Amino acid sequence: MFERQPLEKANGLADQAALSADQAIRSTQRVANEALDSLAVSVQDMRQQAAPLLNRANEQAVAMARRGVDAVRDTSQHLRDRAHRASEGTVTYIRGEPVKSMLIAAATGAALMALIGLMTRPRDGG
C-alpha cells in the first residue's frame, strides 16, 4: 500500500497537468477565434469604408478623362477652324495679288531648296 500512494499521486498530478494543458489549449483557441473574428469585422468595416472612396475616385477619374477628351475635341475643332480661315485668307490674297503671290512662292521655294542643299551637302572632315 505504501507504493501505491506515490503512483496514485503521480497519476493524479499527470491528470491535473493534462487537464490544465487541455484548458490552456481551449483558452488559446477561444482567444485566437475571437481575434480572428475581430479581424474579420475590421476588414469588413474597412472594405465598407473604402468602397465609397474608391467609387468617388473612379468617378473623378472618369470626369477628368471626359474633360480631357472634351478639351482635345475643342482644341481640334479650334485648329480646324483656324486652318480653314488661313486657307480662305490665302486664297483671297492669291486672287487679289496673283503676281505678288507667285513671286513670294518662288522666293520661298528657292530659299527652301538652298537650305535643303546646305543641309544635305557632304561635309569635309579636314
pLDDT category at 102 given cuts 50, 70, 90 is: very high
Domain assignment of residue 75, yes or no: yes
pLDDT category at 123 given cuts 50, 70, 90 is: confident
The C-alpha angle with vertex 81 and arms to 78 and 87, in degrees rounded to 5, equals 140
Domain assignment of residue 65, yes or no: yes
pLDDT digits (tens, 9 = 90+) for 22-52: 899 999 999 999 999 899 998 888 888 888 8
Start-to-end C-alpha separation, the chain: 122
Domain assignment of residue 104, yes or no: yes
Domain that holds residue 30: 4-120
Domain assignment of residue 49, yes or no: yes
Domain assignment of residue 125, yes or no: no
pLDDT value at position 3? 55
> What is the tally of structural domains in the chain?
1
Domain assignment of residue 126, yes or no: no
C-alpha to C-alpha distance for 80 and 32, rounded to whole angstroms: 69
pTM score, two decimals?
A: 0.44
Residue 121 has pLDDT above 90, yes or no: no
